[in-house]
């Protein structure tokens, strides 16, 4: 297998079509690994999470020149003076990351990548954040580390609750706690009787997007922690991601409206027959309507009616996720160090 290293954005851009084609066949097809998402992240370096970084993308090709695998890495030096190679998207903005490779090629590609990097003395650690516990890359990296006399460490990071969706909304309600289902139905009836109509709005037109994002960030900012999160660099990063997802046809931006006012919103990714819940915001002025509950009910009903297989809450173990029937999987960090 021939391993090449991409260090310029022009060379990276030339890979776009091959990149996304391979991702569709990869062992994990994740929205955060699309070429468009990765480039949007790179242009803003995670909303200011990284002040500086260098591209260090490794590609593997077979004897016919066909693309076999991609290790989308970058190089950065930490405050401790150590230079680490990490997955583009690390750490906060991309909930799930991985190598891009077909299952049958993953072991050989991973070993070829690690062997190639052994000859590079510039790094001290390979740090792979946010690998799902189901990722086949974890075992492949462990085997490659052992074969290359590298130290292998595996660390559990966060819970990532998700809901496997049934065939009907009634089945969904039956699958959750009976008290929760009763309360959800009660709140839905209350919303239906509200003096001002409570409706759901999906953003589908390009000319709507900028104002919709402005309103979405305004709702996010009503929570103090999210207000602090939305510093200018981070807001620019999220805008870039939203525009990228919209252009790719996989942005789901939903508002709950009370009368004409947007009272709650979810920004999701509608990708690979799943909904990936990325962020949300709620109006304090409409708290009596429980807009979070109503939004979740509307989203679950839409997902089931449109044959989506999973609603993925992604990272974070907030209690409300489990009330709506989520179960855990986890993300891990895998580190390879020179002995």
Q: What is the pTM of this model?
A: 0.96
Confidence of residue 79 (pLDDT cuts 50, 70, 90): confident
E strands, the chain, where?
Answer: 2-6, 54-55, 57-61, 67-71, 73-77, 83-87, 100-101, 125-132, 150-159, 162-164, 198-202, 251-258, 261-271, 274-282, 310-312, 330-338
Percent of the chain scoring above 90 in pLDDT: 97
Read off the pLDDT of each residue in 301-318 and give the average, rounded to a whole number.
97
- Does a structural domain hold residue 107? yes
Residue 317 lies in a domain: no
Q: 177 and 29: one domain?
A: no
Average pLDDT, the chain: 96
Q: Identify whether 103 is part of a domain.
A: yes
Is the predicted pLDDT of residue 78 greater than 90, yes or no? Answer: no
The CATH number assigned to the domain holding 88 equals: 3.40.630.30
273 with 180, same domain: the answer is yes
When pLDDT is cut at 50, 70 and 90, the band that residue 339 belongs to is confident
Residues 218 and 263 in one domain: yes
Domain that holds residue 110: 2-158+331-338
pLDDT at 81: 85
Query: 257 pLDDT exceeds 90?
Result: yes
Looking at residue 80, its pLDDT comes to: 86
Give the tens place of pLDDT for each residue, 108-146.
999 999 999 998 888 999 999 999 999 999 999 999 999
**Close Cβ partners of 289 (under 8 Å, ≥ 6 residues apart):** 187, 190, 191, 194, 198, 258, 263
pLDDT at 323 over 80: yes
- Paired strand residues for 280: 266
- Domain co-membership, 106 together with 154: yes
Residue 26, in any domain of the structure: yes
Calculate mean pLDDT across residues 221-241. Answer: 96
Give tens-digit pLDDT for 138-191. 999 999 999 999 999 999 999 999 999 999 999 999 999 999 999 999 999 999
231 and 306 belong to one structural domain: yes
Regarding whether 147 and 126 lie in a shared domain, the answer is yes
Q: For residue range 182-227, list pLDDT tens digits in order.
A: 999 999 999 999 999 999 999 999 999 999 999 999 999 999 999 9
- Rounded CA-CA distance 11/16 in Å is 10
205 and 290 share one domain? yes
Q: Does any domain span residue 323?
A: no
Report yes or no on 318 lying in a domain: no
215 and 70, same domain (yes or no):
no
Asked if 97 and 48 sit in the same domain, the reply is yes
Phi, psi of 208 (to 5 degrees): -85, -20
Predicted local distance difference test score (pLDDT) of residue 121: 86
| Same-domain check for residues 241 and 301 | yes
Residue 319 lies in a domain: no
The pLDDT value recorded for residue 243 is: 98
Number of domains in the chain: 2
- 53/198 same-domain check: no
305 within domain boundaries: yes
Q: Are residues 242 and 120 in the same domain?
A: no
């Amino acid at each position: 297998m021939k391993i090449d290293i991409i260090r310029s954005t022009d060379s990276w851009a030339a890979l776009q079509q091959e990149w996304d084609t391979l991702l569709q066949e990869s062992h994990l097809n994740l929205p955060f690994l699309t070429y468009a998402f990765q480039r949007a992240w790179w242009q803003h370096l995670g909303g200011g999470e990284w002040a500086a970084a260098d591209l260090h993308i490794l590609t593997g090709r077979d004897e016919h020149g066909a693309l076999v695998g991609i290790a989308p890495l970058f190089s950065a030096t930490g405050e401790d003076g150590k230079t680490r190679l990490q997955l583009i998207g690390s750490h906060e903005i991309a909930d799930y990351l991985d190598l891009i490779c077909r299952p049958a090629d993953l072991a050989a590609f991973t070993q070829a990548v690690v062997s190639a990097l052994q000859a590079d003395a510039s790094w001290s650690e390979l740090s792979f954040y946010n690998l799902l516990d189901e990722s086949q890359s974890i075992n492949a990296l462990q085997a490659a580390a052992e074969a290359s006399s590298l130290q292998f460490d595996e660390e559990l990071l966060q819970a990532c609750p998700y809901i496997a969706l049934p065939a009907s909304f009634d089945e969904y309600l039956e699958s959750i706690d009976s008290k929760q289902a009763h309360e959800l139905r009660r709140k839905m009836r209350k919303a239906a009787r509200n003096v001002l109509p409570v409706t759901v709005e999906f953003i589908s037109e390009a000319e709507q997007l900028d104002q919709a994002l402005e309103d979405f960030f305004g709702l996010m900012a009503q929570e103090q922690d999210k207000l602090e999160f939305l510093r200018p660099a981070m807001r620019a990063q999220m805008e870039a991601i939203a525009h990228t997802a919209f252009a790719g046809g996989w942005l789901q931006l939903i508002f709950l409206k009370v009368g004409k006012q947007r009272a709650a919103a979810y920004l999701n990714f509608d990708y690979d027959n799943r909904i990936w819940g990325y962020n949300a915001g709620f109006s304090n002025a409409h708290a009596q309507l429980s807009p979070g509950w109503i939004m979740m009910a509307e989203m679950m009903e839409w997902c089931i009616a449109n044959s989506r297989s999973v609603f993925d809450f992604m990272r974070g173990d907030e209690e409300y996720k489990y009330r709506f029937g989520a179960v855990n999987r986890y993300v891990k960090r895998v580190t390879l160090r020179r002995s």
